[in-house]
Amino acid sequence: MSGQPARYFAFGPYKAEAIGAYGWWGVKNKNGFNCLTFTDRPGHVFALEAEAKSLADEWNNGKVFEYPPEPVIVPRIPDPVHDARFGKYVRTQRFVNRRWVSPIPVDKNWAQAVDEYVET
């Protein structure tokens, strides 16, 4: 089984509980939040009754959880020239015939076209 508590929600004691009327079971943390996740089934948060009870017992007996490292987020470097050009391009947009259109063509020379465009 690959079930473990969701990162940042691993607060025991854990309790297996039925969720809904369709036979779905989850494992709730001490705050009553269904924290069940599966490493081999991303997005799945429910299990069968036997599996949920087994996981809750295993977690309550002190299982150590291993999580993948946090992704590194590289911040965007501000570019005032690009930001000004893009702002100008967005301001040229008009809603015509249920579509957003701009008099500035978007191609490889869009920056030059934006610089030459005179806002009215």
Whether residue 41 is contained in a domain is answered as yes
17 and 56 in one domain? Answer: yes
Total domains, the chain: 2
What's the token pair of residue 102? 């701009």
Question: Quick check: 37 and 5 in contact, CB under 8 A?
Answer: yes
- Can you tell me the distance from the alpha carbon of 106 to that of 97, in angstroms, rounded to the nearest whole number? 19
Domain C-terminal end among 32, 60, 88:
60
Among residues 49, 68, 65, 57, the alpha carbon closest in space to that of 9 is found at 65
What H or E segment, with its residue span, contains residue 25?
Answer: strand 24-28
The pLDDT profile of the chain, 120 residues, written as one tens digit per residue, is 588 999 899 888 999 999 988 889 999 999 999 999 888 888 888 999 999 999 999 999 988 888 888 889 999 899 999 999 999 999 999 999 999 998 888 888 888 999 999 887
Token digits of residue 99: 């579509």
Nearest one of 39, 36, 32 to 53, comparing CA atoms: 36
- Kindly state whether residues 45 and 88 are assigned to the same domain: no
Q: Is residue 73 part of a domain?
A: no
Whether 67 is in a domain gets the answer no
Contact of 4 with 65, CB cutoff 8 Å: yes
| Domain enclosing residue 106, as ranges | 80-116
